[in-house]
Structure 1
């Protein structure tokens, strides 16, 4: 999937992590309503694609796309970055919404980090 390049300099290409629900989804919606090109990231493929389709339906903005990656894994981060770089010549804005603190115990990823 290649990200369309906006002709209007006021319109930006914006990546929103954690955009499959909650604040990230609403942020993606608001940015798409403003006419920006929005890249929605999520960890769950079905939920992320459904959120992306919903944003497009709500706004009529066809410059909205979905990418899947588990950002707790460095291998996924690298693949995600490669996919974005391949499909998009630049990003104007990054909204780092993904992540969370759940409990007091430290857990390690499948990669041991």
Structure 2
């Protein structure tokens, strides 16, 4: 939920979520961590506060990111970097030629 909230916060989206505390042990652990209302509904801003930065690199092909492509002499990756305060979206297509690091 928190990673999704961070990405959505950067793009103007919204999400809501609740903790599922279905055992006494989970309730006790949450209380120990400062959760006073176990039924609280958390909003986007609750899960991702302040100036949020979000980055993701594709591993396999998906709707938002291309997966890693292995070429003869290089490896290509596609990364997206988002920032909430400026609503900036950066797309980075990188060609890695030092195959030893992989």
TM norm. shorter chain > 0.5: no
More helix by share: 1
How does the TM-score come out when normalised to structure 2?
A: 0.23
How does the TM-score come out when normalised to structure 1?
A: 0.22
Structure of larger gyration radius? 2
Return the structure number with greater relative CO, CA threshold 8 A, min gap 6.
Answer: 1
